[in-house]
Amino acid sequence: MSRVGFIGTGHIAAPIARLLARKGHEIYVTERNATVSAALKVDINATVGDPQSVIDQSDVVFLCLRPQAALDVLEPLSFRPDHRIVSVMASVSEADLRSLCTPAEDFVQTIPLGFLENGGCPMAAFGNDQLLANLVSPENPVVKVANEASLNAHFAICAMVPGVLDLLATGSKWLAEQTGDADGAEFYTTQLIAGFLASTEKDRAGRLAAERDALATDGTLSLQMTQALQTDKAHKALRDALTAIGKRLET
């Protein structure tokens, strides 16, 4: 098992730390978020310290800072050549990581979401994907990508998740207005989508469109819905947003 440190302890770092502690790793965290780090100390016996002490005690270092804070936090710190670095910071390039973490040379950049603690979170990985897989799989599948541009595209898709949740919240609210039961409406909406996705065939390109077409046949309510979304340019808005996010990550 490894000694794993977290620089930045927030809503992304905490579930990773809990997963790794459950798998038997020793956890070291900074006090950048005092509430979260205190809870991890109690819940998983994490050792809390300043950033340099966390790095000094760790074999693997997760960088979980907001990109705009990365330079100020990391530049004063000293890394070792044998450190293995996992970055979850969007828009911080490999070149910047190598400069900030020199002389460390073993890197992987990835995109976690909080539910990885419970498994089933696909994690795009650029760099040493095996390093990441050794830590988070088999609970969470690691998807190797070829370059930073591909990684940034996956970051953009992750940003789509709250957009989809926003649409589901709108649908759930509409249902609650019809039924007078907000709790039941949200339960039905979330279970409907979760159950459907869980039952569909995995790992086959085109399956989403195929499932859509199987439901949205001539004269159906499903076809009325898909056509309305197309007519109102919901798909164009999504593609435009993804493209804009991709360009933002390039800068």
Residue 206 confidence (pLDDT): 86
How far apart CA 79 and CA 74 sit, in angstroms, is 10
Buried b (16+ CB within 10 A) or exposed e, 148-170: beebbbbbbeebeeeeeeeeeee
* pLDDT at 123 (0 to 100): 95
Of all residues in the chain, the percent with pLDDT exceeding 70 is 99
Contact 100, 87 (CB under 8 A): no
Confidence of residue 153 (pLDDT cuts 50, 70, 90): very high
Give pLDDT tens digits for 104-133: 999 999 989 889 999 989 999 999 999 999
CATH value of 3-145 in 3.40.50.880, 3.40.50.720, 3.60.15.10, 3.40.50.1000? 3.40.50.720
What are the residue boundaries of the structural domains of the chain, listed by start?
3-145, 150-250
Whether 179 has a pLDDT exceeding 90, the answer reads: yes
Residue whose tokens read 């996956």: 154
Q: Among 59-63, 111-115, 181-185, which stretch is predicted with the lowest mean pLDDT?
A: 111-115
Q: Quote the pLDDT of residue 95.
A: 92
For residue 46, the 8-state DSSP code is: P
Report the DSSP pairing between strands 106-110 and 123-127: antiparallel
- In the structure, how many helices (H) and strands (E) does the chain have? 11, 8
The predicted-structure confidence for 215-234, as pLDDT tens digits, reads as follows 999 999 999 999 999 999 99
The tokens for 30 are 């900074």
Contact 64, 8 (CB under 8 A): yes
DSSP 27: E
Q: Which two tokens stand for residue 100?
A: 């900030």
At residue 251 the predicted structure's pLDDT band, cuts being 50, 70 and 90, is low
Confidence (pLDDT) at 199: 81
pLDDT tens, 62-108? 999 988 888 999 999 999 999 999 999 988 899 999 999 999 999 99
In this prediction, residue 131 carries a pLDDT of 97
- Contact between 155 and 109 (Cβ < 8 Å): no
Of the chain, the percentage scoring pLDDT greater than 90 comes to 77
Give residue 47's pLDDT.
95
Return the exposure string of 2-37: e unless at least 16 CB atoms fall within 10 Å of the residue's CB, then b.
bebbbbbbeebbbbbbbbbbeeebbbbbbbbbeebb
Distant-in-sequence, close-in-space partners of 237: CB < 8 Å, separation ≥ 6: none
